[in-house]
């Protein structure tokens, strides 16, 4: 993109006249400088788009008289998340959070409307998102979880479940299959081979090489369970610090409460949405996909966690607005302490 004829000249001039970022020693070519200038200018706008998507999600899917307050408070907590503040100019910060929330909202809206065409398009978009990053894989389970939660909650008869399946999950799957065939035909991209190689590399690097353990192939089931448990402990503590402990804790509380309401079939229009998002996060922990670095790799959960946390806190915030000031203060303190004691600058890359 930075090499486009009309844009390259502008970026080249900007790289010479504006000091926008520190150029790394091995990235001093003109092409690298243009790309870095483009990233420095474009990524803040992409990151800020999450605020607009939070508003749209709150209005279209959560609704209610307090949707504006929900969107505003969620945006504040999202913007003040330590990893969002300090890991700027990364795709994980600028692109994946708005993309994840946008597609999650598109999935849930299409499922609600039971539109064959909309679900077909969303299914193709999901495959495109996974092509960009396997971090978007949790999106695949959200429609299945929401479909199951909604129909369980509504006590829908089998005939209704089947009819809704043909108008929602089926076209979504067909859209993904169509995208898979097109990517294979025109780009020779095989998602299954690529995923297997990525996971093999990730597991060997995170669970063996990093720990100084020789890799001897696929671990036994008991060892796999142990690794998944250790990874879940580390990743959740790291992400809780990176998102902010209050946001993370209330996200979990709201997720568990919504799941219990679905299981009890209580009347709650948003319980199925919240439960499906929460279970998608739980499933990510079960899969043993990463050991550490969750603050960056799982940053796309930040707007979702803020939304669920604020939903839980809204009744208290109506009665005592000072609670929001306390949350903001806690987020700022966490940002300050993280800045003081955690190194996000990768000094090994600097002179």
Least confident of 162-171, 202-211, 290-299: 202-211
- pLDDT tens digits for range 1-27: 666 777 877 877 777 776 655 556 666
Query: Per the structure block, which two tokens stand in for 235?
Result: 């990743």
Look at the pTM and tell me if it is higher than 0.75.
yes
- The pLDDT-based confidence of 348 (bands split at 50, 70, 90) is very low
| Sign of torsion over alpha carbons 8, 23, 210, 232 | negative
- Is the model's pLDDT at 100 over the cut of 90? yes
- Is the model's pLDDT at 345 over the cut of 70? no
What percentage of the chain carries pLDDT values higher than 90? 59
Mean pLDDT of 282-298: 87
- pLDDT tens digits for range 57-73: 999 999 888 999 999 99
- The pLDDT-based confidence of 313 (bands split at 50, 70, 90) is very high
At residue 89, the pLDDT reads 73
Query: Per the structure block, which two tokens stand in for 313?
Result: 């806190």
At residue 332, the pLDDT reads 93
- Any alpha helices (H) in the chain, and if so which ranges? 5-17, 30-57, 67-79, 82-86, 91-94, 96-113, 116-132, 141-153, 158-167, 169-187, 191-204, 221-243, 245-263, 271-286, 294-297, 302-319, 322-341
- Is the model's pLDDT at 221 over the cut of 70? yes
Q: How many residues does the chain have?
A: 351
Mean pLDDT of the chain: 88
- pLDDT tens digits for range 20-52: 555 566 666 777 777 788 888 888 899 999 999
84 vs 349, higher pLDDT: 84
At residue 349, the pLDDT reads 44
Instruction: Look up tokens 């092509």; give the residue.
Output: 131
- The pLDDT-based confidence of 267 (bands split at 50, 70, 90) is confident
Q: How far is CA 271 from the centre of its chain?
A: 20
Integer Cα distance of 114 and 285 in angstroms:
30
- Is the model's pLDDT at 350 over the cut of 50? no
At residue 16, the pLDDT reads 73
Q: CB-based burial of residue 272 (10 Å sphere; 0-12 exposed, 13-18 middle, 19+ buried)?
A: buried
Query: Per the structure block, which two tokens stand in for 191?
Result: 């998602």
Least confident of 26-35, 73-82, 292-301: 26-35
Mean pLDDT of 319-347: 83
184 vs 217, higher pLDDT: 184
Integer Cα distance of 213 and 205 in angstroms:
10
At residue 101, the pLDDT reads 97
């Amino acid at each position: 993109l930075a090499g486009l004829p009309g844009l390259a000249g502008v970026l080249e001039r900007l790289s010479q006249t504006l000091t926008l970022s520190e150029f790394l020693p091995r990235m001093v070519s003109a092409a690298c400088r243009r790309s870095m200038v483009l990233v420095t200018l474009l990524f803040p706008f992409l990151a800020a788009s999450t605020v607009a998507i939070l508003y749209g999600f709150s209005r279209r899917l959560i609704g209610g008289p307090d949707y504006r307050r929900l969107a505003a408070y969620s945006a504040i907590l999202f913007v003040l998340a330590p990893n969002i503040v300090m890991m700027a100019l990364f795709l994980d910060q600028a692109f994946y959070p708005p993309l994840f929330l946008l597609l999650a909202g598109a999935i849930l809206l299409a499922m609600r409307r039971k539109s064959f065409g909309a679900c077909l398009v969303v299914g193709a978009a999901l495959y495109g998102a996974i092509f960009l990053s396997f971090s978007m894989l949790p999106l695949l389970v959200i429609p299945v979880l929401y479909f199951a939660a909604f129909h369980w909650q509504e006590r829908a008869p089998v005939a209704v479940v089947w009819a809704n399946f043909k108008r929602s999950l089926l076209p979504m799957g067909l859209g993904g299959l169509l995208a898979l065939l097109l990517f294979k035909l025109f780009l020779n991209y095989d998602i299954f081979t690529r995923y297997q190689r990525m996971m093999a590399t990730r597991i060997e690097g995170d669970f063996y090489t990093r720990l100084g353990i020789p890799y001897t192939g696929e671990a036994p089931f008991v060892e796999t369970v142990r690794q998944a448990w250790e990874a879940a402990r580390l990743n959740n503590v790291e992400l809780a610090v990176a998102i902010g402990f209050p946001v993370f804790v209330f996200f979990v509380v709201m997720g568990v409460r919504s799941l219990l309401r679905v299981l009890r079939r209580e009347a709650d229009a948003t319980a199925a949405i919240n439960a499906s998002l929460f279970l998608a996060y739980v499933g990510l922990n079960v899969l043993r996909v990463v050991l550490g670095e969750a603050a960056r790799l799982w940053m796309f959960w930040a707007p979702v966690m803020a939304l669920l946390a604020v939903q839980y806190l809204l009744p208290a915030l109506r009665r005592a607005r000072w609670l929001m000031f306390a949350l903001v203060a806690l987020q700022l303190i966490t940002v300050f302490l993280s800045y003081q004691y955690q190194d996000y600058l990768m000094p090994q890359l600097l002179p």
